[in-house]
């Protein structure tokens, strides 16, 4: 068989589909471990851990290469699946006079193309809700922490001691530091910024400039202080119904949770047949190991989608 035949034959397409499927299975494991931080860690610790994880996934060169491989694998897997489904249909244009599919294959096997298409639709909407906002629209806010504080300071104009309640927003930088980002006087008294000596009135006064979305620069010196994390944690929490960092919650949060859970059950059925089928397509099945492969595949098909589905449910119930 020629090299072009190896790459374009139906058998070769089954090989590529199996390989892309197994690669996406490994991606699911890594993605799940990162997402579990949304429910295993709470408060500021959980928010920081998840945003640091998201930053690492977007900036590590090895992970970035894997991300592009993942995008290509998703498209290739979907295209090859639909292509093979159409080819199989064309090879048998007329149904047998007596046809009982359930006697020869399971439901997951018979509806792989439909299940795969549903998963592809979910992936597109999922990326639109999170990946697009972070990477393209750049609407994800910076990771800040708000602290209320009462201070007494001397009014340089009158010498009088003035007590003020102030709110300081700290921004988490990639250096692992919380730096004062904005300050706001919360009552009628005047608060004097110790860095400039100027009075702060009832609006947020920025101590730093943010350029290029996440880069933090000192207003006085113009020097870069550090880079901030995007607060993807808050975006996810708001999307699934929690009001975090004063951001409005998604009014359709319940439907978002239901849609996500249904999609994970679709993924479960897809993996139920797909895991073992990939080994078979690659010729790696063996009487001695088929039972183990089938058990691991079915366990994976249940546990991984179930854990994914639990995450938005817990977020919504804890709102």
Q: Are residues 162 and 187 in contact, defined by beta-carbon separation less than 8 angstroms?
A: no
Q: Is the pLDDT of residue 32 over 90?
A: yes
Per-residue b or e along 18-49, where b marks 16 or more CB atoms closer than 10 Å to that residue's CB: bbbbbbbbebbeeeeeebebbbeeeeeebbbb
Percentage of residues of the chain with pLDDT beyond 70: 77
Chain segment 187-208, per-residue pLDDT in tens: 655 566 666 666 666 667 788 8
Chain segment 36-83, per-residue pLDDT in tens: 999 999 889 999 999 999 999 888 888 888 888 888 887 877 777 777
Phi and psi at residue 31, to the nearest 5° = -65, -40
Q: What is the pLDDT of residue 104?
A: 46
Helix axes 290-317, 10-35, angle to 10 degrees: 40
Provide the 10 A C-beta neighbour count for residue 151. Answer: 13
What six digits make up the tokens of 169? 């927003």
Query: Among residues 261, 263, 246, 247, which one has the least CA distance to residue 316?
Result: 261
| pLDDT winner (highest mean) among 56-70, 181-195, 207-221, 297-311 | 297-311
Phi and psi at residue 318, to the nearest 5° = -95, 10
Query: Among residues 126, 204, 194, 199, which one has the least CA distance to residue 170?
Result: 204
Query: Among residues 302, 304, 296, 264, which one has the least CA distance to residue 279?
Result: 296
Per-residue confidence at 16, pLDDT binned at 50, 70, 90? confident
Q: Do the bridges between strand 191-192 and strand 199-200 make them parallel or antiparallel, or are there none, so unpaired?
A: antiparallel
Sequence-separated contacts (24+) of 16-19 with Cβ below 8 Å:
16/76, 16/80, 17/76, 17/77, 17/80, 17/81, 17/84, 17/278, 17/281, 18/277, 18/278, 18/279, 18/281, 18/282, 19/278, 19/282
- The residue-averaged pLDDT of 257-270 equals 92
């Amino acid at each position: 068989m020629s090299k072009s035949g190896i790459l374009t034959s139906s058998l070769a397409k089954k090989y590529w589909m199996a390989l892309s499927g197994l690669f996406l299975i490994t991606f699911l494991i890594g993605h799940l471990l990162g997402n579990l931080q949304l429910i295993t860690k709470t408060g500021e610790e959980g928010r920081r851990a998840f945003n640091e994880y998201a930053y690492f996934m977007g900036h590590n060169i090895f992970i970035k290469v894997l991300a592009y491989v993942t995008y290509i694998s998703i498209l290739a897997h979907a295209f090859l699946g639909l292509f093979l489904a159409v080819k199989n249909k064309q090879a048998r244009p007329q149904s047998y006079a007596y046809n009982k599919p359930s006697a020869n294959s399971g439901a997951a096997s018979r509806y792989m193309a439909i299940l795969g298409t549903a998963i592809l639709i979910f992936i597109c909407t999922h990326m639109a809700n999170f990946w697009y906002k972070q990477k393209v629209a750049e609407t994800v806010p910076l990771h800040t922490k708000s602290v209320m504080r009462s201070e007494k300071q001397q009014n340089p104009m009158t010498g009088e001691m003035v007590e003020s309640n102030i709110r300081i927003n700290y921004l988490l930088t990639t250096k692992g530091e919380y730096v004062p980002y904005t300050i706001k006087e919360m009552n009628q008294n005047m608060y004097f910024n110790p860095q400039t000596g100027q009075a702060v009135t009832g609006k947020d006064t920025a101590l730093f400039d943010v350029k290029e979305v996440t880069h933090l620069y000192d207003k006085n010196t113009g020097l870069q202080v550090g880079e901030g994390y995007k607060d993807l944690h808050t975006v996810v929490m708001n999307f699934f119904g929690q009001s975090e960092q004063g951001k409005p919650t998604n009014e359709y949060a319940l439907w978002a949770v239901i849609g996500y859970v249904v999609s994970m059950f679709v993924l479960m059925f897809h993996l139920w047949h797909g895991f073992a089928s990939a080994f078979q397509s690659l010729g790696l099945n063996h009487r001695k190991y088929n039972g183990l492969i089938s058990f691991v595949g079915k366990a994976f098909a249940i546990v991984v989608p179930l854990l994914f589905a639990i995450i938005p449910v817990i977020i919504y119930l804890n709102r």
